[in-house]
């Protein structure tokens, strides 16, 4: 039997593929807290907070601010916030993610998105990025982020009141990055994240995104309609990981599923362009999930409900207990960091025990 | 018109604003990344009805700051800490520092709108244009922009951000300007405050003009009541030409209070704090180059530097010896001011039973900003004097060591100011604008928005 699965939840109301019912206000701190706590209670390993910089309905708060707000209102669930590399400065987004990891005590992730969601470019007029270089830019930003997160070694802070030595300067490193789009001197102005490196997630829908996820992501979220297409994306990601000389075990493979339970159709759930739908009664949905898990080797599922509600989702209430009964889900280790919970090791520091490296160049 | 009342913010350097505050015995040396600790301190000043919590920022790091200013070396990103602090509080305003020079207006407008929704009307933007030259190296810039360029950019940037806060599907922004083309609308609903409160600090002409036009709160750095009064009068008069009333802008200088039940105990704490400062060998008395205008400790920490400042050579003196009265007699105007200031803080003099030492002069020389040392009445008197004389509408409180100095101020000075009827005993409403007595601005519903003023 296939290994038990982790569960993630994709929160993206007004994204074109997800809406919310009248009882849920995406700008209400109470409703957001309720949602995150419900998911935590139901056993989800992480909550993905999607974001959009396009002309979406004015209904969602920015993802890192939202995740930071939820950080101390939750205790165990991973909080993965989206930021679009086509519209951010690498130094800014790197410190947002590092800081989120500190305030969550190691439960932070970054959902890397890239490219223009038309007409987002119109909001960035003179600084808009040419479409053909979005992934090059994303890749360069990830290289910068990883080095900046490591720019303070774990032992850099001494904080000895007696001697007055606050830091060990030999454990703080400039990164001296000079690449195609950016030059970033470093070091970061944030202590190394508790997880060492913040968990990086990426949605995979085609060859280009599979290539990026294989090289950079800890969590690849495979979005396709059929089990066969999901398996193909999975193979692309793993091939890219091998190409980048990464251990395949270090890329966790999640399939994105859109659950449609009972009345969701009536609630006017929008249809995602490409997604693996599961629908019917809770038992039927559990059957469909089992079938998918038997067909494609996966580490987990990202549940993207068509409708977000303020009350516990039917998936949490009815489907999860059924999957637990069938021993298809991992039981969460509730005290761990997100990396520990997902079985990902805390990475070593690239600057430790090494002479300073020459300036990196863009891929 | 309602009665004028004091406003307080907390300048939240978690390790303390004193360069060696983190070494004080009760301080938490790892405070900067301990969100639970930051939340407890925020709750402490919220219980004392402070207007706001001030989260400073810099966009670079440098380990050489460790002996002079470790709180400025590394910290949590302020939107992250601000949102986390909002989650643990209900009334206090949350000021996030953000530098338009290194931000995009659409991103920044979204983040402040988001923080304002999450905090239910408590978000505030401390607009800085960045005196910090090394930040350029982290943002793919060849060099640091000059003041004119930074303020030209910031002026348009603020107009775009305000326009985005006001925008909606029916009236998107369609801004086309010198630096920015932004279609809008913002994809976050109009913030609960309409516009989050805007703070600004600075003394240059461009900065005063930006503050007079756009800021709701001005954070000032004048060390003396005379210079603070002049600054206050200047900014309020500049604001009038933009059609703003005096009550529309709160001018809050920084103030470092060292307070205890008795004067003697307060002076003891002040001396104890200073004893942790690492002094430098004699010889070089020039300005330390690090961090120009940030340079809270830009001056050399030795008697060579003191000698240059006061016009009398004391560089060969034993630092712990009492100062010879002749030095005071021969000191220049600068030196006279330094002696008066050190005497005011330490209650020591060149004569009498309590003698000033040369070491005291070094500490006085490197100190910047307004400092008051004393018992609760003395500190309240200082605050009241500046308030009554219109040198200040309140203060951004610099806690020299954390959390004890915050506890001392809120438990000893705040009740005294409340007894004197100068400071609120309850919040009048839940938003930061409520604390400042500012109405929610009406949205400017035009397709295109030009620079005001």
Per the CB < 8 A criterion, the answer to whether B198 and B215 are in contact is: yes
Mean pLDDT of each 10-residue bin along chain A, 363 residues long: 89 81 90 95 94 72 97 96 94 98 98 78 71 88 98 96 94 96 96 98 95 97 96 98 96 94 61 81 94 96 88 86 93 81 95 63 44
- B69-112 per-position pLDDT tens digit: 888 889 999 999 999 999 999 999 999 999 999 999 999 999 99
Q: Which residues pair with B124 in a beta bridge?
A: B95, B197
- B23-72 per-position pLDDT tens digit: 999 999 999 999 999 999 999 999 999 999 999 999 998 877 887 788 88
Per the CB < 8 A criterion, the answer to whether A210 and A230 are in contact is: no
The pLDDT, as a whole number, for residue B66 is 81
- Does residue B421 have a pLDDT over 70? yes
Structure tokens at B276: 């942790």
What residues 229-248 of chain A have any CB closer than 8 A to a CB of chain B? Answer: none
The number of C-alpha atoms within 13 Å of B326 and in the hemisphere containing its C-beta is 4
In this complex, do B87 and A29 lie within 8 Å of one another by their Cβ atoms? Answer: yes
Among B104, B103, B94, residue whose Cα is nearest residue B124: B94
Among B344, B339, B368, residue whose Cα is nearest residue B254: B368
The pLDDT, as a whole number, for residue B72 is 83
- Does residue B297 have a pLDDT over 50? no
Residues of chain B neighbouring A159 (CB-CB closer than 8 A): 22, 29-30
Structure tokens at A332: 């969460």
Q: What is the mean pLDDT of chain B?
A: 92
- Structural domain boundaries in chain A: 6-342
The pLDDT, as a whole number, for residue B285 is 78
Distances (CA, A) of B147 to A342, B127, B238: 49, 14, 20
B403: cis peptide before it, omega within 30°? Answer: yes
The pLDDT, as a whole number, for residue A268 is 59
CA B291 to chain centre: 16
In this complex, do A62 and B22 lie within 8 Å of one another by their Cβ atoms? Answer: no
Domain A6-342 CATH superfamily: Luciferase-like domain (3.20.20.30)
Q: Report the pLDDT averaged over residues B409-428.
A: 98
The pLDDT, as a whole number, for residue B295 is 37
Identity of the residue in B80, B119, B138 whose CB atom sits nearest the CB atom of A103: B80
Gap from A69 CA to chain B (nearest CA, Å)? 5
The pLDDT, as a whole number, for residue A363 is 40
CA A78 to chain centre: 9
* d(C-alpha B17, C-alpha B371), whole Å: 11
Band of residue B426 on the pLDDT scale cut at 50, 70, 90: very high
In this complex, do A66 and B138 lie within 8 Å of one another by their Cβ atoms? Answer: no
Lookup result for tokens 């409708």: A307
Distances (CA, A) of A212 to A143, A346, A352: 12, 21, 26
Give the sign of the dihedral formed by CA A171, CA B35, CA B98, CA B102.
positive
- Does residue B448 have a pLDDT over 80? no
Identity of the residue in A65, A125, A183 whose CB atom sits nearest the CB atom of B115: A65
* d(C-alpha B205, C-alpha B431), whole Å: 31
Cβ-based neighbours of A206, under 8 Å, separated by 6 or more: none
- A141 touches B: beta carbon within 8 Å: no
Residues across chain A: 363
Q: Which residues pair with A200 in a beta bridge?
A: A110
In this complex, do A127 and B104 lie within 8 Å of one another by their Cβ atoms? Answer: yes
Q: What's the start-to-end Cα distance of chain B, in Å?
A: 26
Band of residue B431 on the pLDDT scale cut at 50, 70, 90: very high
Gap from B169 CA to chain A (nearest CA, Å)? 8
Mutate to test the interface with A, among B116, B187, B290 (most CBs of A within 10 A): B187
The pLDDT, as a whole number, for residue B291 is 42
* d(C-alpha A196, C-alpha B323), whole Å: 53
Domains of chain B, first to last: 7-259+375-436 (3.20.20.30), 264-370 (no CATH)
Structure tokens at B259: 């307070």
Q: Give the ipTM of the model, two decimals please.
A: 0.94
How do beta strands B250-259 and B197-201 pair? Answer: unpaired
Identity of the residue in A72, A88, A102 whose CB atom sits nearest the CB atom of B76: A102
B367-379 residues labelled b (16+ CB within 10 A) or e (exposed): bebbbbbbbbebb
The pLDDT, as a whole number, for residue B329 is 96
The pLDDT, as a whole number, for residue B361 is 97
Q: Which residues pair with A308 in a beta bridge?
A: A20
Chain B residue at shortest CA distance from A148 = B138
- B131-190 per-position pLDDT tens digit: 678 899 999 998 889 999 999 999 999 999 999 999 988 888 999 999 999 999 998 999
3-state secondary structure of B148: helix
Residues of chain B neighbouring A169 (CB-CB closer than 8 A): 63-64, 66
What is the 3-state secondary structure of chain A?
Answer: CCCCEEEEEEECCCCCCCEECCCCCCCCHHHHHHHHHHHHHHCCCEEEECCCCCCCCCCCCCHHHHHHHHHCCCCCCEEEEEEEHHHCCHHHHHHHHHHHHHHCCCCEEEEEECCCCCCHHHHHHHHCCCHHHHHHHHHHHHHHHHHHHCCECCCCEEEECCCCEEECHHHECCCCEECCCCEECCCCCCCCCCCCCCEEEEEECCHHHHHHHHHHCCEEEECCCCHHHHHHHHHHHHHHHHHCCCCHHHCEEEEEEEEEEHHHCCCCCCCCCCCEEEEECHHHHHHHHHHHHHHCCCCEEEECCCEECCCCCHHHHHHHHHHHHCCCECCCCCCCCHHHHHCCCCCCCCCCCCCCCCCCCCC
Per the CB < 8 A criterion, the answer to whether B45 and B406 are in contact is: yes
């Amino acid at each position: 039997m296939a290994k038990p699965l982790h569960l993630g939840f994709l929160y993206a109301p007004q994204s074109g593929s997800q809406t919310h019912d009248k009882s849920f206000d995406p700008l209400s701190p109470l409703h957001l807290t309720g949602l995150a706590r419900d998911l935590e209670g139901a056993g989800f390993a992480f909550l993905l907070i999607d974001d959009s910089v396009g002309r979406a309905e004015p209904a969602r708060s920015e993802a890192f601010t939202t995740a930071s707000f939820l950080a101390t209102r939750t205790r165990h669930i991973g909080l993965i916030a989206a930021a679009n590399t086509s519209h951010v400065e690498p130094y800014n987004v790197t410190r947002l993610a590092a800081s989120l990891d500190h305030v969550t005590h190691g439960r932070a992730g970054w959902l890397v998105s890239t490219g223009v969601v038309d007409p987002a470019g119109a909001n960035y007029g003179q600084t808009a990025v040419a479409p053909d270089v979005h992934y090059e830019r994303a890749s360069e930003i990830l290289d910068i982020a990883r080095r900046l997160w490591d720019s303070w070694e774990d032992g850099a802070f001494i904080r000895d009141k007696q001697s007055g030595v606050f830091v060990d300067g030999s454990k703080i490193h400039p990164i001296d990055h000079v690449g195609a789009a950016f030059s970033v001197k470093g070091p970061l102005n944030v202590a190394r994240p508790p997880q060492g490196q913040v968990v990086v997630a990426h949605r995979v829908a085609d060859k280009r995104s599979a290539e990026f996820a294989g090289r950079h992501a800890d969590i690849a979220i495979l979005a396709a309609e059929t089990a066969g297409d999901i398996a193909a994306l999975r193979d692309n990601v793993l091939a890219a990981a091998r190409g980048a000389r990464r251990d395949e075990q270090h890329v966790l493979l999640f399939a994105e599923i859109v659950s449609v339970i009972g009345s969701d159709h009536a609630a006017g759930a929008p249809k995602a362009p490409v997604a693996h739908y599961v629908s019917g009664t809770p038992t039927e949905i559990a059957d469909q999930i089992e079938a998918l898990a038997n067909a494609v080797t996966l580490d987990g599922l990202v549940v993207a409900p068509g409708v977000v509600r303020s009350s516990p989702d039917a998936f949490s209430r009815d489907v999860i207990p059924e999957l637990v009964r069938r021993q298809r889900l991992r039981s969460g280790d509730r005290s761990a960091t997100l990396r520990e919970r997902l079985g990902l090791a805390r990475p070593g520091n690239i600057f430790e025990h090494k002479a300073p490296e020459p300036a990196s160049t863009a891929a | 018109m309602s009665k004028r009342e004091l406003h307080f913010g907390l300048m939240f350097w978690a390790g303390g604003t004193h360069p060696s505050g983190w070494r004080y015995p009760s301080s938490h040396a790892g405070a900067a990344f301990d969100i639970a600790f930051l939340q407890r301190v925020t709750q402490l000043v919220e219980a004392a009805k402070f207007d706001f919590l001030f989260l400073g920022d810099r966009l670079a790091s440098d380990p050489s700051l460790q002996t002079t200013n470790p709180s400025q070396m590394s910290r949590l990103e302020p939107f992250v800490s601000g949102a986390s602090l909002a989650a643990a509080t209900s009334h206090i305003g949350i000021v996030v520092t953000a530098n338009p020079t290194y931000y995009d207006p659409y991103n920044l407008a979204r983040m402040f709108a988001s923080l304002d929704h999450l905090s239910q009307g408590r978000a505030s933007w401390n607009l800085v244009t960045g005196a910090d030259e090394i930040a350029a190296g982290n943002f793919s810039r060849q060099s640091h922009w000059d003041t004119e360029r930074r303020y030209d950019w910031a002026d348009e940037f603020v107009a775009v951000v305000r326009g985005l806060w006001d925008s909606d599907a029916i009236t998107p922004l369609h801004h086309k300007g010198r630096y920015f083309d932004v279609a809008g609308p913002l994809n976050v609903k109009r913030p609960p405050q309409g516009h989050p409160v805007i703070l600004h600090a600075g003394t240059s002409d461009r900065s005063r003009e930006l503050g007079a036009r756009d800021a709701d709160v001005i954070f000032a750095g004048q060390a003396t009541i005379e210079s603070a009064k002049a600054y206050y009068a200047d900014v309020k008069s500049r604001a009038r030409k933009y059609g703003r009333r005096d009550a529309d802008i709160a001018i809050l200088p920084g103030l470092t209070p060292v307070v205890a039940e008795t004067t003697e105990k307060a002076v003891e704490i002040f001396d104890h704090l200073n004893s942790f400062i690492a002094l430098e060998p004699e010889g070089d008395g020039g300005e330390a180059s690090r961090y120009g205008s940030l340079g809270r400790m830009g001056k050399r920490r030795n008697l060579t530097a003191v000698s240059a400042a006061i016009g009398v050579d004391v560089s060969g003196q034993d630092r712990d010896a009492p100062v010879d009265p002749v030095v005071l007699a021969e000191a220049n105007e600068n030196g006279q001011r330094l002696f008066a200031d050190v005497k005011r803080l330490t209650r020591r003099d060149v004569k009498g039973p309590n003698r000033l030492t040369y070491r005291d002069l070094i500490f006085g020389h490197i100190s910047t900003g307004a400092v008051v040392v004393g018992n609760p009445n003395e500190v309240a008197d200082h605050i009241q004097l500046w308030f009554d004389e219109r040198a200040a509408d309140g203060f951004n409180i610099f806690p020299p060591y954390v959390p004890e100095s915050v506890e001392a101020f809120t438990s000893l000075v705040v009740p005294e100011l409340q007894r004197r009827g100068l400071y609120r005993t309850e919040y009048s409403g839940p938003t930061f604008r409520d604390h400042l007595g500012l109405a929610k601005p009406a949205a400017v519903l035009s397709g295109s928005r030009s620079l005001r003023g």
